[in-house]
Structure 1
């Protein structure tokens, strides 16, 4: 039972026709052979893609963050607390150093509330001193506790009684000392 199958292929030139004659068994073997070639090529490509997917999956697993244990979370919490305390201690240290610098320059520490921590204390102290000097020059200095001379002469002092001398001593000890001499 050999049946003959004719296969006619049309090419770009209409006048050119090829015809092949083969038995059904040969035709089946030829189809099976070509199918095997395609399947083999497909299997190779599939295997290569599966390998690529596998390697990419491994890389994704490596790069994906892992779930942290309670101990790791606790360590991170403590580390964060220590860092915050360290920052706070640094701020306090700078503040105390700033106060000490102000006091060393005879600037009242109560002014620190109105000053920035990063000012040049040396320059500020010199400006403040210049302002104070200028104020003294402009306003002058008038002593409040300085008593004017009462006009007591040495002769008047010698004629005073003991009670009057004691009163003069309590009111104006400087004058009393000068008159005793």
Structure 2
């Protein structure tokens, strides 16, 4: 009987020790401070990935090249749902025209084919049967839906005929149409 009693006592001691360990673990878990290594604000402003020396090409359903983007670096931000481009160089092609642009910075929203180029932007628009047009601005926004380039901030359009500045200059890739608004000024020379 004494072996049963000591066996029973041993089990009780083991169970009490197990309960004590569990209670201590729960107490420690409750008392431990909830500290993140990085603050949530830091993480939301950090890219979820970046790629250097990027070249990306896009093709239409028939396999024809319609866009090439080169960038020294791309940084994707999942919270903002956008990709930032450093030193972007963009070529966009269509059946009747094309454009080439360079800037110090750029941005593409997730799921969009629009491209916002910022900081010392230069773009050359080519349209079949017409002379090339040079656009310079603080920002140039390519809108894929209407195939337009909208230049804002120190916007200038330079052609063989002269130079025009305006608050906003919008030109369309598939036509010769140009719309200028906000303090339009031109400088043209004629040769007799």
Q: Which has the higher strand share?
A: 2
* Both proteins in one fold, TM over 0.5: no
The structure with the largest alpha-carbon Rg is: 1
Q: Which has the higher helix share?
A: 1
Indicate the structure whose relative CO is greater, using CA pairs within 8 Å and at least 6 residues apart: 2
TM-score computed with the length of structure 1 as normaliser = 0.31
